[in-house]
Structure 1
Amino acid sequence: MHGIMTTVSISLASSEVVASERTEAAPDYWRNLDPSWKHTGPPMRRYFHPDGYHSADPHDAVWGGHECTYTVITSFVDDGQIREHYVRINRWPPMKVSRKDDWSWELSNHLYRYNSIPDSHRKGCTGPLFPVW
């Protein structure tokens, strides 16, 4: 994996459509609303908009139409090195930002995981769609 691009910016995050998943630690109520958890449908999609708004597809059972925003948090130490870099959605636990081998993004914490969908056909995309060996 190429490690140069390991931080996410608002402009990049806002271009992403991501698949949302629950982890084993997520409460049963939320996991049972997720069709991918029950193997009855595809992962739910989430959208990060440039204005900081975070949304879902219409008729998403988990979403419920509530207000949701995100913020990219980056803090630096004296020498310009990044001390912390994470995404905060509403008041949920911080989500670690990482790159996967296929150059897609992953935002994750102990409850939820968001994986970007590769979009190599777009300008400013997540990267080439190459098989991972």
Structure 2
Amino acid sequence: MDGKRKRIRKEDLYDHVWEFHFTEAAPEYWRMLDPYWNGTGRPLRRYFLPDGSQTAEPDDKIWGGHESCYSIVTSVLADGKIRAHYVRINRWPPMYVTRKEDWSWEISNNFCTYRSIPDADKKDGTGPLFLLH
């Protein structure tokens, strides 16, 4: 497992289930539909698909069935250093990438946060594997 890698790949997006929630900066209307803020259930889940689309669960009140696509944007300087690295979903503000200590990924902007659900039991999963005896 490559828990130290900081540059996200397309496979990292579609190999994991993602928890989604709005941030405090998001409009109140959206926060009140979000279980993270109103305490009405488990976090919303999002799914990145290999074809570059994104989807949610059928009962997701926020999703609404709209089309959604994503891409990973990386710009590199002449010396090989990365200048910018983010995930773009539709035409929304860039989602900046962070690698967490448990090897999970977080992508976020001012309005929302996605966090990969640890799945150490999978090949190339995130999070250290803790075996229970």
Shared fold per TM-score greater than 0.5: yes
Rounded Cα–Cα distance in structure 1 between residues aligned with 2:22 and 2:129 = 25
Rounded Cα–Cα distance in structure 2 between residues aligned with 1:102 and 1:33 = 29
Q: How is 1:25-64 mapped onto 2 (pairs within 5 angstroms)?
A: 25-64=25-64
State the shift of 1:129 in Å: 4.5
State the shift of 1:3 in Å: 7.5
Q: How is 1:1-80 mapped onto 2 (pairs within 5 angstroms)?
A: 4-80=4-80
Gapped regions of structure 1 (runs ≥ 5): none
In structure 2, give the amino acid aligned to 1:106: E
Contact kept, 8 Å, 1:14 with 1:47, in 2: the verdict is yes
**What's the secondary structure of 2:32's corresponding residue?**
helix
In structure 2, give the amino acid aligned to 1:91: R
**Shift in alpha-carbon separation, 1:129–1:112, aligned structure 2, 3 A:** farther
Rounded Cα–Cα distance in structure 2 between residues aligned with 1:15 and 1:113 = 18
Partner of 2:123: 123
**Shift in alpha-carbon separation, 1:101–1:41, aligned structure 2, 3 A:** same
Partner of 1:111: 111
- The C-alpha deviation readout for 1:13-36, integer Å capped at 9, x for no partner, is 111111001111000111111122
Decide which moves more: 3-12 or 34-43. Answer: 3-12
Task: Give identity over the alignment, percent.
Answer: 55
TM-score, reference length from structure 2: 0.92
